[in-house]
């Protein structure tokens, strides 16, 4: 295995085939670009008033060529003016239209695509309505709040024949694409397993108190398809992640990123068994999801060609220590290991000697551009929604395992919970607020 070089990387990006990466760029001359008009739905800012994920997506697309952010939308009216101003600064153009109700934007036939960076329980419902309105969709991870929604979203993308890109942006990072090609080429031999890690020093969410919703918030629309609950003062704007009613826990919040890389590298689709161990250990507060978790996904039976495994380890109340792995994920093969950290990778032989490495950008630009290029007919999506659903489904099954018996048997051909597990099957979908149930139309 020769060390990486700029020449090696350029040659890789020019010659990688569809079979190697699953959903790569189409390698042909790009047609002249046309203007794409986007509505950004969900324009969150952080608790200190700086950029959040939603506002970063709007500004990131605005900075690209031949893109117009035609509108920004958020149920928190405090986000609208700052994000509109930032979009105008990034694009060098006029400020976009602002709306609090995304449904008004779907009626605009001049809008070609939407980006969705809402809370998890809104991802699929907004995407389904956008597809039905004829829009292409960029949806943040995780693409669904429950497994049933992921199935609906894939079906709707096929029915409407629109591009739906999942926000697992590592699929577009050049060095990680190179790393996956090295796995495919056998640089560490037959790859048998992968492990992913996430550590964070999150504070307690405390004990919330029921209170009137703030004037700046449309609380009814924020809840949308989820059955209504009274407003409490520790729900927004981030702690909702740790309530099953709206969020998907750390496994869905951050785990999906590296589990997606692991599944991509191993070349696996549906698990046959998912186990989850751990608990909420650190704080006596309102959090419902585990803060310490080890989830294992088994693919295939022992010693069969399909036998692979992925393990995800999380500790969200304590940051990474010297005893924790330095890598975000590690692939284990018969001849060595490949470590992914940020936008780069390193390959080691079985003796621990470094034999290759690569590095590259690790932001959103390449992923956003891939979405635009696909709409223009010059690329294939790197994180097409079916791939996004398969990775998100693993996190849904991990949560189901934790919330039931600790283990779930899965039909490895369909990805569904296997028969005979009534409690787990009940969590495949959810109850919806009257009049808001999503549908593929």
For the chain, the structural domain boundaries read: 22-171, 173-202+234-361+384-426
Burial class (CB in 10 A: 0-12, 13-18, 19+), 305: exposed
Note the residue count of the chain: 441
Q: Please tell me the predicted confidence (pLDDT) of residue 305.
A: 77
Q: Please tell me the predicted confidence (pLDDT) of residue 6.
A: 35
Q: What is the CA 56 to chain-centroid distance, rounded? A: 15
Q: Please tell me the predicted confidence (pLDDT) of residue 25.
A: 34
Residue 371 is encoded by which pair of tokens?
A: 């979405």
Residue 347 is encoded by which pair of tokens?
A: 């390959």
Pairing assessment for the beta strands 67-73 and 97-99 based on DSSP bridges? parallel
Residues 6+ apart with CB under 8 A from 7: none
Q: Please tell me the predicted confidence (pLDDT) of residue 57.
A: 97
Q: What is the C-alpha separation between 230 and 212, in angstroms, rounded?
A: 8
Residue 106 is encoded by which pair of tokens?
A: 């779907």
Q: Coil, strand, or helix at residue 421?
A: coil
Residue closest to 116 by CA, chosen among 39, 37, 217, 222: 39
Q: Do domains 22-171 and 173-202+234-361+384-426 have the same CATH topology?
A: no
Cβ neighbours, 10 Å, residue 190: 10
Q: What is the C-alpha separation between 8 and 30, in angstroms, rounded?
A: 23
Q: What is the C-alpha separation between 344 and 364, in angstroms, rounded?
A: 15
Question: Which DSSP letter does residue 169 get?
Answer: G
57 prior amide bond cis, ω within 30: no
Contact (Cβ atoms closer than 8 angstroms) between residue 369 and residue 387:
no
Residue 226 is encoded by which pair of tokens?
A: 């989820």
Residue closest to 160 by CA, chosen among 113, 122, 119: 113
- Taking only the tens place, the pLDDT of each residue in 3-41 is 333 323 333 333 333 333 443 333 333 344 599 999 999
Low-confidence spans in the chain with pLDDT less than 50 = 1-32
Residue closest to 157 by CA, chosen among 413, 415, 374: 374
What is the CATH architecture assignment of 22-171?
Answer: 3-Layer(aba) Sandwich (3.40)
Q: What is the CA 264 to chain-centroid distance, rounded? A: 13
Q: What is the C-alpha separation between 354 and 60, in angstroms, rounded?
A: 35
Contact (Cβ atoms closer than 8 angstroms) between residue 441 and residue 131:
no
Q: What is the C-alpha separation between 380 and 359, in angstroms, rounded?
A: 23
Residue 244 is encoded by which pair of tokens?
A: 């099953």
Q: What is the CA 237 to chain-centroid distance, rounded? A: 19
Residue closest to 22 by CA, chosen among 301, 263, 377, 193: 263
Handedness of CA 161, 162, 166, 170 (dihedral sign): positive
Q: What is the C-alpha separation between 182 and 54, in angstroms, rounded?
A: 34
Contact (Cβ atoms closer than 8 angstroms) between residue 379 and residue 25:
yes
Q: What is the pTM of this model?
A: 0.92
- Superfamily grouping for domain 173-202+234-361+384-426: Dihydrodipicolinate Reductase; domain 2 (3.30.360.10)
Cβ neighbours, 10 Å, residue 351: 7
Q: What is the CA 43 to chain-centroid distance, rounded? A: 17
């Amino acid at each position: 295995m020769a060390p990486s070089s700029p020449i090696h990387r350029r040659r890789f990006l020019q010659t990688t085939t569809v079979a190697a990466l699953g959903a790569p760029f189409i390698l042909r001359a790009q047609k002249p670009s046309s203007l794409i008009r986007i509505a950004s739905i969900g324009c969150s800012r952080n608790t200190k008033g700086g950029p959040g994920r939603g506002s970063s997506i709007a500004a990131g697309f605005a900075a690209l060529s031949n893109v117009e952010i035609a509108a920004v939308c958020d149920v928190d009216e405090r986000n609208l003016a700052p994000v509109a101003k930032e979009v105008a600064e990034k694009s060098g153009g006029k400020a976009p239209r602002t709306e609090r109700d995304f449904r008004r934007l779907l009626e605009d036939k001049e809008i070609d695509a939407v980006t969705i960076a809402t809370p998890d329980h809104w991802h699929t419902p907004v995407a389904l309505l956008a597809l039905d309105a004829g829009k292409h969709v960029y949806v943040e991870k995780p693409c669904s709040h429950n497994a049933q929604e992921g199935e609906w979203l894939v079906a709707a993308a096929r029915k409407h024949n629109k591009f739906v890109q999942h926000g697992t942006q590592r699929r577009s990072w050049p060095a990680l694409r190179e790393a996956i090609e090295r796995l495919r080429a056998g640089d560490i031999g037959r790859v048998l397993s992968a492990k992913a890690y996430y550590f964070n020093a999150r504070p307690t969410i405390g004990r919330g108190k029921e209170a009137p919703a703030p004037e700046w918030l449309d609380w009814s629309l924020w809840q949308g398809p989820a059955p209504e609950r009274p407003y409490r003062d520790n729900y927004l704007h981030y702690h909702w992640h740790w309530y099953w009613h709206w969020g998907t826990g750390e496994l869905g919040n951050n785990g999906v990123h590296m589990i997606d890389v692991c599944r991509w590298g191993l070349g696996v689709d549906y698990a046959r068994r998912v186990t989850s161990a751990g608990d909420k250990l650190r704080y006596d507060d309102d959090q419902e999801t585990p803060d310490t978790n080890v989830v294992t996904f088994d693919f295939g039976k022992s010693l069969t060609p399909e036998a692979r495994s992925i393990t995800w380890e999380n500790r969200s109340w304590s940051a990474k220590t010297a005893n924790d792995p330095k890598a975000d994920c590690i692939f284990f093969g018969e001849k060595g290991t490949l470590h992914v950290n940020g936008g780069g990778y390193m390959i080691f032989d079985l003796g621990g000697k470094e034999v290759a490495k690569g590095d590259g950008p690790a932001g959103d630009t390449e992923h956003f551009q891939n979405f635009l290029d696909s709409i223009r007919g010059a690329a294939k999506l790197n994180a097409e929604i079916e791939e996004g659903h398969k990775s998100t489904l693993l996190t849904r099954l991990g949560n189901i395992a934790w919330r039931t018996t600790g283990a779930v048997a899965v039909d490895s051909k369909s990805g569904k919970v296997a028969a005979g597990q009534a409690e787990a099957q009940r969590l495949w979908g959810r109850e919806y607020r009257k009049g808001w149930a999503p549908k593929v139309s």
